[in-house]
Structure 1
Amino acid sequence: MQNSTLWRTLLGVDKTIVEAVDLDADTGMLVASVRPTASMRNRCGACRKRCPRYDAGDGRRRWRSLDAGSVQIHLEAAAPRVSCRVHGVTVAAVPWARHQSGHTLFFDDQVAWLATQTSKSAITVLMRIAWRTVGAIITRVWADTEKQFDQFAGLTRIGIDEISYKRGHKYLTCVVDHDSGRLVWAAPGQDKATLETFFDALGPERSALITHVS
């Protein structure tokens, strides 16, 4: 297996050319210099459509990847800007990370999965990131998930409840699917207006399919 193929596999990147991998003597980090393949260059970071190049942006930047044992790994690449007809001047998309993220896709997905299995404080220690970073990653991953899956599909029997947070001073209204056991919706608040936003999102046609509410 060639070194470039090996590093792409280890880094978990696709449509990416690995130019070099070096150890940063000052930080002790492993830094992989990468660039998108020709088919992925000059695309809008928001919509991924090919656009004219605008400028070089702020130069090269880094994205945190999953650690290799105790060694942190970062991807480094140029971050040019493109001019999109819809989104204006914006940083070009890269195949290894979500738009406006400082972490790779694999890193984001790992943190999001951990958020479903353990506490946020445990994630900060294990992944060596800040508490606020965990929340930002969850928001990015969920935004992508919503585009791929319809969480309201086949919804007929639901349960509605509220939970408190911030030491009981604030509340979330939660809706679960009794058939699958999944949480399908949640929002801050505990009043009628909060619940109405769920049925607004569900829509009149799918609301009519609800047969049981507990």
Structure 2
Amino acid sequence: MNSIALFTLALGLEKPWIITKIDIDPSISQLDIHIDFERGSKFLMPDGAYYTAYDSSDHTWQHLNFFQYRCYLHARIPRVKQSDGKTEVQSVPWARKGSGFTLLFEAFSMLLIEKEMPVSSVASTLKVYAQRIWGIFNYWVERAHKKDIPENLTQIGFDETSQKKGHNYITHLVDLNERRVLYACQGKGSDCIEESVKYLESKHVDTTQIEDVCIDMSPSFIAGCTAYLPESQITFDKFHVVKEVNKAMDELRKLERTGNELLKGHKYTFLKKKLSDKLQTENDILLEMYPKLGQGYWLKEMFEDFWQIKDTEEAESYLAFWCDFAMESKIQPFIRLVNTIKAHWRGIVRYIKSKISNGILEGINSKIQLAKKRARGYRNSRNFINMIYFTCGKLKFDYPQYFI
């Protein structure tokens, strides 16, 4: 088998495409493969008929390396005139239109990203500019996301994350049943909820069938869900409700800390669920020495029982009972907490029926944070949003899978 036959087989070329020449230049470690189409070949065009070439233009694509040699494909691409007079550039089987890379090169790039290699490292490995790898990445992710169809959507959640530390927030819509991100957009306001609902409607999703939506206590999220998902019941993320309770406990500790050196260094002693034997002993002593702190701690522990109740009416009664105790304690941080709970009453109680786990949103957010950490933040919103889809969207890609 000669070299032309070997490379024809390796590239999977079929008529009318043929290799006409192969050049290897050791001085620059480069392999150039020249491809042409057979004279008189006819090509199938969009109107369903076959036509011969009208004229042609030269194109070059970077291919996978051949050992230590950078490999390029060069081909004369025909332009074909249809019966209606329209001229179309013929597509080629080894590359997509508008790309300067072969499909196998792009598939290998995507595989490296899939294996959690940062895009900058992929670009360095393949010896191309990082922006060109981002171009490949964005094309295939956006193509897969466009084809994606959400199904059986009954429980959703909204959460936000920043592109870089404290800058440019991205809001993402999560299918809580499938545990995947469906849509992401810039910002963290009510307009993000509106944009997400419009996306679902563009996919012919009946948003009136969405029973539950899980969010934090963000006023803009509440306003957006109320306005654009009026048929859905809001469940406030358990994680954020517990965070408010812990915040009240910590504020009480700070108030008691003034002038009391024994409380120094015990920020987490009253917040952790599991303590070492030594810390548990210190915790018990301090709660006995500072009665108001002990009362706050008791309220915090009592609130945990709320999440275990299975009946909605019983849960409402218990929450009302807890609020009365908190008000009677006259502890200001817990009084403010009661006001917060009453302002978000329905969404907190709804958890008893919906049982939406904040763990799903937190788990997805952890993946997003990991991707952001590997990239050291994202300046480009498009890149970040597509990375969220790639890592958390469970999309189906149709690039060649020869390496997988």
Q: Is the 8 A contact 1:43 1:93 kept in 2?
A: no
Q: 1:142 is aligned with what amino acid? A: V
Q: Which residue of 2 aligns with 1:130?
A: 129
The equivalent residue for 1:191 is 189
1:114 maps to amino acid: L
Q: What secondary structure does 1:102 align onto?
A: coil
C-alpha separation in 2, matches of 1:55 and 1:177: 50
- Give the whole-Å Cα distance in 1 for the aligned partners of 2:154 and 2:189: 22
User: What secondary structure does 1:129 align onto?
Assistant: coil
Pair 101,212 (structure 1): closer, same or farther in 2 beyond 3 Å? same
Q: CA contact under 8 A between 1:52 and 1:84: conserved in structure 2? A: no
Shift of 1:165: 1.3
Greater relative contact order: 1 or 2 (C-alpha under 8 angstroms, separation 6 or more)? 2
Q: Is residue 162 of structure 2 the alignment partner of residue 161 of structure 1?
A: no
Q: Which stretches in structure 1 are left out of the alignment for 5+ residues? A: none
Cα–Cα, structure 1 residues 12 and 183, in superposed 2: closer, same or farther, change >3 Å? farther
Specify whether residues 125 and 82 from structure 1 end up closer, same or farther in structure 2 by C-alpha distance, changes over 3 A only: same
Counterpart in the other structure of 2:210: 210
Q: Which residue number in structure 2 is paired with residue 102 of structure 1? A: 100
Counterpart Cα distance in 2 of 1:10 and 1:133: 25
Matches within 5 A, 1:52-67: 53-56=53-56, 59-67=57-65
Q: Deviations over 1:49-95 (max 9, x none)?
A: 96775533xx4221011122332111110134345799x65643111
Secondary structure of the residue aligned to 1:79 is strand
Quote the residue 2:21 is aligned against: 20
The 10-residue stretch of structure 1 (112-121 or 9-18) with the greater mean CA deviation from structure 2 = 9-18
The structural deviation recorded for 1:101 is 0.4
For 1:138-153, list aligned pairs within 5 A: 138-146=137-145, 149-153=147-151
Matches of residues 40-51 of structure 1 in structure 2 within 5 Å? 41=43, 43=45
| TM-score, length of structure 2 as denominator length | 0.43
Q: Which has the higher helix share?
A: 2
Report the Cα distance in structure 2 between the residues aligned to 1:212 and 1:8, rounded to whole angstroms: 56
Q: What SS does the aligned partner of 1:180 have? A: coil
Higher strand fraction: Structure 1 or Structure 2? 1
Does the CA contact (< 8 Å) of 2:174 and 2:181 recur in 1?
Answer: yes
Q: How many residues are aligned here? A: 207
- CA RMSD, Structure 1 to Structure 2 (Å): 3.5
- Please state whether the residue corresponding to 1:183 is helix, strand or coil: strand
Give the match for residue 30 of structure 2. Answer: 29
Query: Among the aligned pairs, what percent are the same residue?
Result: 27
Q: Measure, in 2, the Cα distance between the counterparts of 1:115 and 1:169.
A: 25
- For 2:73, the equivalent position in structure 1 comes to 75
Stretch of structure 1 that moved more, 124-133 or 76-85: 76-85
Q: What is the aligned partner in structure 2 of residue 118 from structure 1?
A: 117
**Which amino acid is the alignment partner of residue 18 of structure 2?**
I
Separation of aligned partners in 2, 1:48 and 1:104: 26
Distance in 1 (CA, whole Å) between partners of 2:213 and 2:83 is: 46
C-alpha spacing 1:52/1:207, structure 2 compared with 1 (3 Å) = farther
- Check the 8 A contact 2:79/2:90 in 1, yes or no: yes
